[in-house]
């Protein structure tokens, strides 16, 4: 059950990161590199960094998921940064987030936390392995 919940959590986080990156690269009508440099040039370096990270996040999360059997920390770090970037973006521009966006964000947070919790061995398993 732990492995199923963890797998599902990781799939949801990866799918969400792809959806966000896709909307930034295809949905804005501006090329990704152009979007990032334009934001940087016009006094929004934090937004440029957030946009750059959200565009790169699917690849980073995919690598972190592949490394998960060796160590859970890349997945925890990448997921935390992905959630952090999304949180800051929606807190900065709440009026641009439709109602269903908040619901999806809450569902994503739950899925991401499940993937983080299940990324580490249960205490009993850890005790047995010692």
Partner 1 sequence: MRSNSLGWIIAGAIVIVLALAGGVTAIVLASGGDPTSVQEVADKAVDAAEDLDVDAGIDLLCDAPSKEDREGLESLIDEAQDDADTDDPDVDYEVSHVKGDAEGSFEVRITSSEKDLAGKELAFRVVVEKDGDRSCIADAESLD
Shortest approach of partner 1 to residue 91 CB, angstroms? 4
| Binding positions for partner 1, 75-94, rule CB under 8 A | 76, 79-80, 83-84, 87-88, 90-94
Residue 68 per-residue DSSP state: T
| Binding positions for partner 1, 46-75, rule CB under 8 A | 47
Shortest approach of partner 1 to residue 73 CB, angstroms? 9
Q: Smallest Cα–Cα separation from 54: which of 94, 13, 99? A: 13
Shortest approach of partner 1 to residue 129 CB, angstroms? 13
User: Does position 19 bind partner 1 by CB under 8 A?
Assistant: no
Among 69, 100, 123, 129, binds partner 1 (CB under 8 A): 123
Which residue lies nearer to partner 1 by CB, 14 or 111? 111
Retrieve residue 62's tokens: 């995919």
In the chain the beta strands, taken as DSSP E runs, fall at: none
Q: Report the SS3 class of residue 21.
A: helix
Residue reference for tokens 């592949």: 66
**How many CB atoms within 10 Å of residue 122?**
11
How many residues form the binding site for partner 1 (CB under 8 A)? Answer: 42
* Interatomic CA distance for residues 130 and 126, integer angstroms: 6
* Interatomic CA distance for residues 43 and 33, integer angstroms: 16
Query: Which residues of the chain form contacts with partner 1 (CB under 8 A)?
Result: 1-2, 5, 27-30, 38-39, 41-44, 47, 76, 79-80, 83-84, 87-88, 90-96, 98, 109, 112-113, 116-125
């Amino acid at each position: 059950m732990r492995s199923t919940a963890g797998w599902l959590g990781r799939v949801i986080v990866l799918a969400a990161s792809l959806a966000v990156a896709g909307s930034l690269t295809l949905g804005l009508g501006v090329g990704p590199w152009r979007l990032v440099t334009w934001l940087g040039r016009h006094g929004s370096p934090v937004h440029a960094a957030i946009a750059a990270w959200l565009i790169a996040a699917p690849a980073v999360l995919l690598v972190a998921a592949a490394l998960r059997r060796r160590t859970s920390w890349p997945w925890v770090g990448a997921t935390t940064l992905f959630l952090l970037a999304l949180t800051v973006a929606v807190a900065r521009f709440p009026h641009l987030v439709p109602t269903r966006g908040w619901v999806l964000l809450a569902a994503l947070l739950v899925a991401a936390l499940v993937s983080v919790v299940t990324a580490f061995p249960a205490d009993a398993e850890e005790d047995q392995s010692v």
